[in-house]
Amino acid sequence: MFYQGRVKESHLNGESGEVRTIKVKQFQALRYENDGEICAVQGPITEPRNTADERIFCVKNNLIVPCTGCAVICHGLIHASHLNGELGDVRDAKPNGTGFQLVVHLEKKKGVKSALVKAENLQIAFELPSEEK
């Protein structure tokens, strides 16, 4: 499955140990490492896509911003702790005083609910549960 996200301006460590500054660009999220603290990403993605020019980087989870349509799981919420562990998908981004929050549609047992969630309180759902019929 293909997952895309943006990496906020950050330092990315390459395999050679070099440190580079990358501005917001699209990457493909590959997996989480170190109990979800680190996300391995591949990119940056260009159009047309040329994977031969892409590299794999490991970045802190709080620098990952899932793209619209990406399946995510809420975690680390304090004031809405009842949403922790809930599965949803990103629908939009809304600016706030310190950056922005993502509009997430959560598929709860009693219907769909929308919530504004900071990117650092979301993890990409690499393994989706099977659909119940």
Longest dimension (CA), the chain: 50
- Whether residue 6 has pLDDT greater than 60: no
Q: Where are the domains of the chain?
A: 4-65, 71-124
pLDDT at residue 111, as a whole number: 66
How does pLDDT run across 75-125, given as a tens digit for each residue? 999 998 989 999 999 998 887 777 678 899 887 766 678 899 998 899 999
Q: What DSSP string runs through 18-82?
A: -EEEE-SEEEEEEEEETTTTEEEEEE---SS--GGG-EEEEEEGGGEEEPTT-EEEE-S-STTGG
Give the tens place of pLDDT for each residue, 29-52: 999 999 888 999 999 888 899 999
- Rounded Cα distance between 133 and 130, Å, is 9
